[in-house]
Amino acid sequence: MIGMGTLINTAAVIAGGLLGLCLKNGLKKRMQEILMQACGLATIFIGASGALSKMLVVDRKQMEAQGTMLLIFSLVIGSLVGEWMNIEEKMDALGEKIKKTVKARNDSHFVEGFVNVSLIICVGAMAIVGSIQDGISGDYSMLMAKSVLDFVMAVIFASTCGIGAVFSAVPLFVYQGSITLIAAFCGSFISDALISDLSFIGSALIFCVGVNLAFGKKFRVGNMLPALIVPVIYRVLMSAWGYLSGAF
């Protein structure tokens, strides 16, 4: 069944978040702080490894870097567009709105948990590739594996940031569900190169989220999200150029 992976993933985040809430009162503040730092460090390595696996290639026994210009243009153009749209402020406002709706006004970490967990579980390579696989072939094995990781992440963040982490399941459902539906209808037009590019840029954003978690907010990652659109435009232009070149 197409979309099953997203349903399972959403349920895993909710279950992990609820379990984390049960543990929250049993953790001292210093324990919560060290868990947050550990989670940030792990996220840094997950993002770095994902990005470097796409950038570094071995050619004739020499290691070379590729995709550097794509990374630069994606982050620069995407950040400018995101800053102009002020996406992060809108995400914070959404978190505040949900916070008021669920009457969690005294939860000072609600928005932090909602925004950070949403970014971590949505912009990673597994979210993009897994959702596309689910939409094209109904194979949700990658999203199943991601569900386990997200469950653990939700437990940790809910135990430190509170109920905001649970509500990250909402953007996850919308984001992955949308990718799955688009892949189901347009799967034949999605190339392996585009999937690789999206995973590459997504991993770079995950690295930034990890830095924010471990060292305090250094990057406005929400405003960098349009960087994920640049590879799509790039591949469309490349395909159009190849078609025109062949025609003439």
In the structure, what pLDDT confidence band is assigned to residue 18 with cuts at 50, 70 and 90?
very high
Of 19-28, 35-44, 135-144, 148-157, the range with the lowest mean pLDDT is 19-28
Give the C-alpha separation, 147 to 205, whole Å.
Answer: 20
Phi, psi of 58 (to 5 degrees): -100, 120
Is the model more confident about 216 or about 72? 72
Taking every pair of Cα atoms in the chain, the longest distance, rounded to a whole number of angstroms, is 70
In the structure, what pLDDT confidence band is assigned to residue 240 with cuts at 50, 70 and 90?
confident
What predicted TM-score, i.e. pTM, was given to this entire model?
0.78
Domain ranges of the chain: 4-247
Is the model more confident about 233 or about 246? 233
Encode pLDDT of 136-150 as tens digits: 888 888 898 889 888
Give the C-alpha separation, 16 to 153, whole Å.
Answer: 8
Q: Which residues make Cβ contacts (< 8 Å) with residue 16, sequence separation at least 6?
A: 150, 151, 152, 153, 154, 155, 158
Contact (Cβ atoms closer than 8 angstroms) between residue 47 and residue 210: yes
Contact (Cβ atoms closer than 8 angstroms) between residue 67 and residue 55: yes
Count of residues in the chain: 248
- Nearest Cα neighbor of 119 from 159, 92, 148 is 92
Q: Which two tokens stand for residue 81?
A: 């567009």
219 Rama class: left (phi>0) / alpha (psi -120 to 50) / beta: beta
The DSSP code for 216 is S
Residue carrying structure tokens 């992955």: 176
- Residue 234's CB is within 10 A of a number of other CB atoms, namely 17
